[in-house]
């Protein structure tokens, strides 16, 4: 089949299929890649409609080589997720220029199916699943148009394609639920598949936590067994920073993971389930402090949890934590590490800390003096702090006095160490947003937080959050409330509860929008739990609920085959019950044959319609014209185009009804 101007509909179907297949990649790949595909399709359309220049083989090969060079210059490799998808999309755009046969069109459509599948390398969201279903429907309709040219219009082809896919759904569900799963992913993703993931950094410098807090992306979700703790107790521990170089804080020397850590709980346990978003980092967030080690995790001596490898897919784990605890004694090496300060530490910070040490002596009283200093000396908590220079602690304490949580945590720990109190910085998240639609907590990157820990004899590590001394609203209400208060020009730390309630009251539009967002998030989470995360463990739990314990791969394959056979039998049953007279044109012709039989002209079992019509016309010359007309109409309807001619069918019915032998 040649695609000609007379039959542009096939080309338009192919272009529509390509557009819906490529569309999800527009937000993931550079613009020029989508532009190359669009130019290739438009060029082909111009060739067929406006007789544009048709490139020969040499030009096409040259364009292909130029595309290879462009892809290599863009990604510095031809291997990987992004280069691979780029090659598929740009080369299939070039393929438009050499479409000639049915095979060329079919190959292009199969590549479109592959491009649709490739979009799931970037995301497995619900909206992408819905779009992929639409794209497959359009591609299948185009495949019908290419391989089986009929008089069906676009709506009819799409409807037929949708019906075919709908009939495949039961078989798809059976295979999805019962096909044997393996642990982990089915194939190894290329190394660049996770390049866009961001999460909690492994160091803290002025500004980097604030930058993270500007993101509204979800970090993790938490479902509690029972009532959740108060918002002010939701400190999600990520990693601990102990080394200070005068400007930034980093983790200490890595130690081998431990099976368990020792501490004494001081309150009731909190049990909860975490769904952690991919971050390309190994940190496993836990409510301070976690008491158990999930599968695939390892404990660090600082009571943090790390996964055995960077988290590049959503991770589910269940934990038990305590919000009050006694961590016990501190060994000499840990004490030295958590008292270390660089030689260029601010002399004024040292002097202030020594003054508190001489005045109070006890670690808790010294810490309280530091917090009182923050309140008394007009320090301001702000989401837009000024930039700091080479000595950020000194500039913040004695200059700008405007900062974010990281500024207060870093300054507080510096002062404590200068006063001889072992202390360290903890990075994680604080609070979260309760989704009442699904009764779970949403913790976003904007909830990123830094706080401090000091060590006290008899109590171990004690959490101190200096941010609470300046902006208690951040601790009690969350960062979103702080942002709204700041936008209204209200000073934090001195507002009455009534003023806060008035300022944070939602209008009807905000109320509806927030609840709509919660329900959408719940829908996406349900999609993830029952579709994306349906792996080996979840399959085993599902089969166990059906009474299949310790089922083998062989039995699973048998169940899949049995289920598929059952679906096929259900679909085949209506066809078995159909009579041969289901074709209305054939039914009309049989009535015609019965009228001739009553006149003594019976049709033999072996006799075709054409042969029988000729014999009957010879026997009844007076009816020859009617017999020939009815036989011709029947043959046209029975053996003609797939879509019957309604006018001919109506004429056949009238001629048979009025026929008298």
Q: What six digits make up the tokens of 283?
A: 């940190």
Give, in order, the Cα–Cα distances in Å from 493 to each of 400, 413, 431. Answer: 18, 22, 18
Which residue in the list 139, 394, 449, 593 is annotated as catalytic? Answer: 449
> How far is the C-alpha of 274 from the C-alpha of 485, rounded, in Å?
30
- If one counts every other C-beta atom within 10 angstroms of the C-beta of residue 552, the result is 10
350 is catalytic: no
Token pair for residue 83?
């280069």
- Rounded distance between C-alpha atoms, residue 316 and residue 528, angstroms: 11
Provide the terminal-to-terminal Cα distance of the chain, rounded to the nearest Å.
47
Among the listed residues 288, 302, 391, 465, the single catalytic one is 465
**Cβ(644)–Cβ(637) below 8 Å:** yes
CB 442 within 8 A of CB 234: no
3-state secondary structure of 246: coil
271-to-184, 321, 351, 443, 610 alpha-carbon distances in Å = 26, 7, 45, 17, 81
390 is a catalytic site residue: no
The CA dihedral of 606, 610, 613, 619, to the nearest 10 degrees, is -70
Nearest to 31, CA basis, from 105, 92, 86: 86
Catalytic residue among 288, 302, 405, 407: 405
Kindly give the pairing relationship between strand 433-435 and strand 440-444: antiparallel
Whole-angstrom distance, CA of residue 294 vs CA of residue 649? 71
Beta strands 380-381 and 402-403, pairing class: parallel
Written in H, E and C, the secondary structure of 427-461 is EEEECCEEECCCCEEEEEHHHEEEEEEEEECCCEE
Cα 107 from Cα 640, distance rounded (Å): 29
CA–CA dist 146, 640 (Å, integer): 19
Backbone angles phi, psi at 321, to 5 degrees: -130, 165
Query: Is 273 within 8 Å of 222 (Cβ atoms)?
Result: yes
Give the length of the chain: 661
- What does the DSSP 8-state code read for residue 258? B
Distance CA 461, CA 415 (A): 17
- Helix residue ranges per DSSP H, 184-283: 208-213
Please state, in angstroms and rounded to a whole number, the distance separating the CA atoms of residues 67 and 64. Answer: 5
At 282, give phi and psi (nearest 5°).
-85, -5
Catalytic site includes residue 515: no
The tokens for 651 are 């004429």
Cβ proximity of 314 and 533 under 8 Å: yes
Residues known to be catalytic: 405, 449, 465
């Amino acid at each position: 089949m040649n695609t000609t101007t007379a039959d542009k509909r096939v080309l338009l179907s192919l272009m529509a299929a390509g557009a819906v297949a490529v569309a999800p990649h527009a937000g993931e790949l550079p613009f020029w890649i989508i532009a190359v595909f669009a130019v290739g399709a438009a060029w082909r359309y111009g060739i067929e409609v406006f007789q544009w220049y048709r490139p020969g083989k040499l030009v096409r090969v040259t364009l292909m080589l130029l595309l290879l060079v462009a892809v290599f210059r863009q990604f510095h490799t031809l291997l990987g997720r992004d280069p691979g998808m780029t090659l598929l999309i740009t080369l299939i755009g070039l393929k438009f220029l050499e479409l000639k046969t049915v095979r060329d069109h079919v190959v292009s459509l199969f590549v479109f199916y592959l491009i649709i599948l490739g979009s799931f390398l970037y995301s497995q969201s619900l909206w992408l699943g819905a779009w992929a279903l639409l794209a497959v429907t359009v591609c299948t309709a185009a495949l019908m148009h290419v391989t089986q040219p009929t008089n069906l219009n676009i709506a009819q082809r799409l409807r037929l394609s949708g019906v075919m896919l709908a009939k495949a759904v039961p078989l798809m569900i059976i295979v999805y639920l019962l096909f044997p799963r393996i642990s982990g992913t089915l194939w190894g993703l290329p190394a660049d598949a996770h390049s866009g993931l961001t999460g909690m950094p492994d160091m803290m410098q002025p500004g980097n936590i604030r930058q993270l807090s500007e993101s509204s992306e979800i970090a993790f979700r938490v479902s509690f067994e029972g009532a959740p703790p108060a918002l002010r107790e939701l400190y999600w521990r990520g990693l601990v920073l102990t080394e200070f170089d005068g400007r930034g804080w980093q983790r200490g020397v890595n130690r081998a993971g431990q099976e368990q850590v020792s501490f004494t709980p001081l309150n009731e346990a909190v049990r909860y389930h975490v769904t952690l978003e991919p971050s390309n980092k190994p940190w496993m967030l836990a409510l301070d402090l976690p008491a158990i080690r999930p599968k695939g995790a390892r404990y660090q001596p600082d009571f943090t949890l790390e996964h055995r490898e960077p988290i590049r897919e959503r991770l589910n784990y269940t934990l038990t934590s305590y919000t009050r605890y006694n961590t016990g004694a501190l060994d000499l090496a840990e004490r030295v590490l958590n008292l270390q300060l660089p030689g260029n530490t601010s002399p004024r910070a040292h002097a202030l800390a020594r003054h508190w040490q001489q005045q109070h002596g006890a670690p808790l009283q010294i810490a309280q003096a530091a917090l009182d200093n923050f309140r008394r000396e007009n320090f301001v908590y702000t989401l837009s702090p000024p930039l700091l220079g080479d000595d950020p602690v000194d500039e913040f304490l004695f200059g700008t006095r405007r900062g974010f949580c990281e500024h207060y945590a870093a300054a507080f720990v510096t002062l404590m160490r200068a006063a001889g109190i072992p202390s360290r910085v903890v990075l994680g998240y604080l609070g979260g947003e309760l989704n009442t639609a699904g009764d779970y907590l949403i913790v976003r990157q904007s909830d990123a937080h830094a706080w401090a820990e000091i060590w006290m004899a008899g109590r171990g590590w004690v959490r101190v959050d200096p941010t609470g001394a300046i902006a208690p609203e951040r601790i009690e209400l969350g960062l979103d409330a702080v942002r709204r208060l700041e936008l209204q020009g209200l000073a934090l730390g001195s507002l009455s509860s009534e003023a806060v309630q008035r300022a944070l009251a939602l209008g009807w539009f905000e109320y509806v929008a927030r609840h709509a967002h919660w329900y959408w998030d719940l829908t996406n989470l349900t999609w993830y739990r029952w579709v994306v995360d349906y792996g080996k463990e979840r399959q085993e739990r599902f089969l166990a609920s059906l009474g299949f314990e310790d089922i083998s791969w062989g039995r699973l394959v048998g169940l899949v085959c049995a289920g598929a056979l059952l679906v096929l039998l259900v679909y085949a049953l209506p066809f078995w019950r159909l009579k041969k007279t289901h074709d209305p044109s054939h039914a009309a012709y049989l009535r015609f044959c019965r009228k001739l039989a009553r006149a003594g002209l019976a049709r033999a079992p072996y006799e075709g319609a054409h042969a029988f019509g000729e014999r009957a016309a010879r026997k009844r010359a007076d009816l020859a014209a009617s017999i020939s007309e009815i036989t011709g109409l029947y043959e046209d309807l029975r053996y003609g185009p797939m879509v019957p001619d309604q006018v001919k069918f109506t004429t056949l019915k009238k001629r048979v009804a009025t026929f008298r032998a």
